């Protein structure tokens, strides 16, 4: 059973209904798996970093917090207009059509609040104060269905503004939605995170040439950016399935008069403007230490470090207005989330390049992941060998075979295993010949790298040799198992041929192919893209990692690799290093093996400028063929680099000291 939007089916009644279906398995699809009541068993999840790297969501979210609803509306409308101009430039450059849409979240009708900013109020403001044509406005609420039957992606669609309360939740998809404007008081908005998710989707999941079109925009009613950012982050984590670490990095201020900065010691500081001046002189010493700069006239204050609980209480007690307390509290939370002694190399914009292995054929340099060089000239064995002939298993008789009959005026059913045995012996012969069976197998076994005449001859030889021990009728009846086993044999032969060609080209002395490393061909880590699936919980203990967080590393599930990372981070010879992510061909360094890509565990830049690549293998895998091939490949890459690169294969925890030995020698 497949359950979409499974977070909506978590009540006791829902669970009872699912149980009554008695399914063999339930596969849930949701962005927000339940972790408390009736928790979901999460088999696979995709991080926001991965979605951002694949250009599927617009991040970061540019956030502006204003106190008045008219100011919020005006800023959001102006931003949509600016994006309209950016979209026109994008279309002239690439031909892609984008019509930025502004989503406006209104307040519900409230008898106790006659001044509520309802849908009607917002719609009137758009038409009367901002002169928006009626055809460009749509209302989508529980009662009004202004989007039914409307194709928002069509170039002929005039809609640029959608007013809603909380109706645009699951199932509503318009990649043109770029701007969110929430005129509801953010502290009481319960569905803003649902609508915020609507503006995160990247139009056509492709990066735009205009940087402004790669971001989302949110304009909300709130006393300060940090108050709004903290509220939205909490809602995204609680209700939209994002991790705290990811949500922390989502929001950036539209205007940066107030924001995160760095002091002379490299510590982060945060500057905020309050509705009242902060009486610094009345603060106790522990709180006064956190205040590094004040401007009584502008009512601006700069906080640094990580205030203690007592210091926080003193700072909040020093101001009288509730709005001031809220701004200070949010700023302290922001400071605590970001407070670190120094920026990572990626945040500083440091370039991290690794020489890439390339192949030269007749003067043409190609990337080793282009498979043609491995598949050239291999052939299927003709005639087929004994090893090519599959053995068809005699499966057990089905227990589901039986009869339906009438005895003594009653309909009866009876299982008959002996009948199942008889059915197994029946051969399929009608309309089938050996030529037709060979043709069917040839069509259903992928073989793009082999000529059809050759594959047909091989299959015909296999079928001929399997007879008369297995009659044609039996082969036709078992053709699905036959196809599966012949396809597996084909892949075995292909893999063996690729391995022979791989060894000949890279390591064979007679090969005319040149292996090049570097020489202008490099892989570069992107400073702002690191699509890790999960961040190491102890990332803050590492001080030399290229990115702020260490990805896909856990001291519990992969303890030995974690110790290797700690070893690397503590080496004086290492300037910085990165946990190289597996299966990220665009964003990670890799070397091509005979079957797939090899992603070493760690890539280090040494202080002398050389690159050290480290691969860790547990003792249980230290002597496998796969490990041997990767070690030979890594050594070849280092050898052909002209002394610029080094490779270390660490086999078991007792060999971790080899990393320090190689790094120390190379850095001299």
Q: What is the mean pLDDT of residues 184-202?
A: 62
Strand, helix or coil at 633? helix
Q: What is the mean pLDDT of residues 476-504?
A: 86
Contact 606, 647 (CB under 8 A): no
Tokens linked to 121: 């109020």
In the predicted model, is pLDDT for residue 665 greater than 60? yes
Per-residue confidence (pLDDT) for residue 257, from 0 to 100: 43
Per-residue confidence (pLDDT) for residue 256, from 0 to 100: 44
Report the chain's mean pLDDT, rounded to a whole number.
80
Strand, helix or coil at 297? coil
- Tell me the pTM: 0.61
Q: In this predicted structure, which of 33-37, 233-237, 472-476 has the lowest mean pLDDT?
A: 233-237
Per-residue confidence (pLDDT) for residue 253, from 0 to 100: 63
CA distance linking residue 101 with residue 379, whole number of Å: 56
Please give the backbone phi and psi of residue 210, each rounded to the nearest 5 degrees, phi first: -90, 115
Q: Write the CA distances from 177 to 162, 312, 469, integer angstroms.
A: 9, 39, 66
Which of the given ranges, 215-219, 252-256, 507-511, 583-587, has the highest pLDDT on average? 583-587
Q: What is the 8-class DSSP label of residue 270? A: E
In the predicted model, is pLDDT for residue 475 greater than 80? yes
State the burial class of residue 544 (Cβ atoms within 10 Å of its Cβ: 0-12, 13-18, 19+).
middle
In the predicted model, is pLDDT for residue 620 greater than 90? no
State the burial class of residue 397 (Cβ atoms within 10 Å of its Cβ: 0-12, 13-18, 19+).
middle
Higher pLDDT among residues 58 and 243, named by residue: 58
β-sheet with 364-366: strand ranges across? 364-366, 353-361, 514-524
Please give the backbone phi and psi of residue 260, each rounded to the nearest 5 degrees, phi first: -75, 135
Per-residue confidence (pLDDT) for residue 64, from 0 to 100: 79
Q: What is the 8-class DSSP label of residue 514? A: E
Please write down the long-range contacts of 335-338, taking CB distance under 8 Å and 24 or more positions apart.
Answer: 335/260, 335/268, 335/269, 335/270, 335/303, 335/304, 335/305, 335/306, 335/307, 336/306, 337/248, 338/248, 338/260, 338/268
In the predicted model, is pLDDT for residue 424 greater than 70? no
Beta strands, E only, 137-274: 137-140, 161-164, 177-185, 216-221, 251-253, 260-262, 268-273
Q: What is the mean pLDDT of residues 105-130?
A: 84
Q: Cβ–Cβ contacts within 10 Å for residue 456, how many?
A: 16
Higher pLDDT among residues 520 and 266, named by residue: 520
Q: What is the mean pLDDT of residues 131-152?
A: 83
Q: Which domains does the chain have, with CATH numbers?
A: 1-44 (no CATH), 48-253 (3.40.50), 260-338 (no CATH), 372-503 (no CATH), 514-667 (no CATH)
pLDDT, tens digit, 9 for 90 and up, residues 435-468: 989 999 999 998 887 888 899 999 999 999 998 8
In the predicted model, is pLDDT for residue 285 greater than 80? yes
b/e for 67-96, b at 16 or more Cβ within 10 A?
Answer: eebeebbbbbbebbeebeebbeebeeeeee
pLDDT, tens digit, 9 for 90 and up, residues 571-617: 999 999 999 999 999 999 999 888 888 999 999 999 989 999 999 99
Higher pLDDT among residues 475 and 111, named by residue: 475
pLDDT grade for 370, boundaries at 50, 70 and 90? low
Length of the chain counted residue by residue: 668
Strand, helix or coil at 489? helix
Q: Write the CA distances from 200 to 178, 340, 424, integer angstroms.
A: 7, 28, 56
pLDDT, tens digit, 9 for 90 and up, residues 291-302: 888 888 888 888
**Which neighbouring-strand residues pair with 327?**
none
């Amino acid at each position: 059973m497949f359950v979409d939007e499974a977070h909506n089916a978590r009540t006791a009644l829902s669970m009872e209904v699912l149980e009554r279906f008695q399914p063999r398995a339930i596969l849930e699809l949701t962005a927000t798996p339940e972790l408390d009541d009736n928790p979901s068993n999460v088999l696979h999840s995709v991080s926001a970093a991965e979605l951002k790297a694949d250009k599927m969501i617009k991040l970061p979210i540019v956030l502006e917090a204003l106190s008045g609803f008219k100011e919020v509306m005006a800023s959001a409308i102006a931003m949509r207009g600016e994006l309209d101009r950016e979209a026109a430039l994008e279309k002239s450059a690439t031909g892609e059509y984008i019509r930025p849409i502004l989503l406006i979240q209104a307040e519900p009708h409230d008898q106790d609040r006659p001044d509520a900013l309802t849908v009607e109020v917002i719609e009137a403001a758009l038409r009367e104060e901002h002169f928006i044509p009626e055809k460009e406005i749509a209302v989508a609420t529980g009662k009004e269905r202004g989007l039914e039957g409307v194709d928002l992606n069509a170039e002929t669609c005039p809609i640029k503004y959608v007013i809603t309360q909380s109706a645009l939740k699951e199932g509503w998809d318009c990649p043109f939605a770029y701007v969110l404007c929430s005129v509801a008081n953010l502290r009481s908005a319960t569905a803003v995170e649902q609508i915020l998710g609507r503006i995160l989707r990247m139009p056509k999941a492709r990066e735009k040439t205009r940087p402004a079109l790669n971001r989302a925009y949110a304009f909300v009613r709130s006393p300060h950016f940090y108050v709004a950012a903290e509220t939205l982050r909490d809602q995204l984590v609680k209700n939209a399935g994002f991790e705290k670490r990811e949500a922390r990095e989502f929001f950036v201020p539209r205007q940066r008069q107030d924001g995160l900065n760095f002091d002379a010691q490299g510590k982060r500081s945060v500057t905020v403007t309050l509705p009242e001046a902060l009486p610094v002189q009345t603060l106790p010493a522990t709180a006064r230490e956190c205040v590094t700069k004040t401007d009584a006239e502008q009512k601006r204050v700069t906080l640094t470090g990580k205030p203690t609980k007592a210091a926080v209480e003193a700072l909040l007690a020093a101001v009288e207005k509730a709005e001031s307390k809220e701004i200070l509290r949010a700023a302290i939370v922001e400071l605590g989330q970001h407070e670190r002694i120094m920026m990572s190399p990626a945040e500083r914009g440091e370039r991290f390049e690794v020489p890439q292995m390339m192949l030269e054929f007749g003067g043409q340099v190609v990337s080793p992941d282009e498979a043609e060089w491995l598949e050239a000239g291999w052939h299927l064995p003709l005639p087929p060998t004994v090893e090519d002939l599959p053995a068809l298993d005699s499966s057990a008789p089905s227990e589901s075979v039986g009869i339906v009959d009438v005895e003594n005026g009653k309909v009866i059913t009876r299982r008959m295993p002996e009948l199942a045995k008889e059915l197994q012996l029946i051969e399929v012969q009608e309309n089938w010949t050996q030529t037709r069976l060979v043709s069917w197998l040839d069509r259903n076994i992928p073989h793009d790298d082999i000529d059809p005449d050759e594959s047909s001859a091989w299959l015909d030889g296999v079928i001929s040799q399997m007879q008369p021990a297995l009659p044609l009728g039996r082969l036709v009846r078992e053709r699905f198992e036959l196809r599966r086993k012949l396809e597996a044999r084909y892949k075995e032969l292909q893999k063996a041929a690729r391995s022979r060609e791989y060894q000949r080209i890279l390591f064979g002395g007679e090969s005319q192919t040149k292996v090049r490393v570097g020489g202008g061909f490099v892989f570069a880590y992107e400073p702002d893209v690191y699509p890790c699936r999960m961040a190491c919980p102890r990332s803050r203990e590492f001080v030399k990692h290229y990115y702020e967080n260490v990805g896909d590393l856990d001291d519990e599930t992969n303890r030995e690799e974690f110790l290797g990372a700690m070893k690397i981070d503590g080496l004086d010879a290492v300037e910085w290093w990165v946990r190289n992510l597996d299966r990220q061909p665009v964003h990670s360094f890799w070397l091509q093996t005979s079957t797939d890509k090899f992603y070493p565990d760690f890539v280090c830049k040494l202080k002398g400028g050389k690159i050290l690549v480290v691969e860790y293998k547990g003792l249980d895998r230290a002597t496998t063929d796969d490990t041997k091939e990767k070690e030979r490949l890594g050594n070849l890459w280092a050898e052909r680099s002209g002394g610029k690169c080094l490779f270390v294969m660490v086999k078991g925890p007792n060999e971790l000291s080899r990393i320090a030995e190689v790094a120390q020698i190379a850095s001299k």
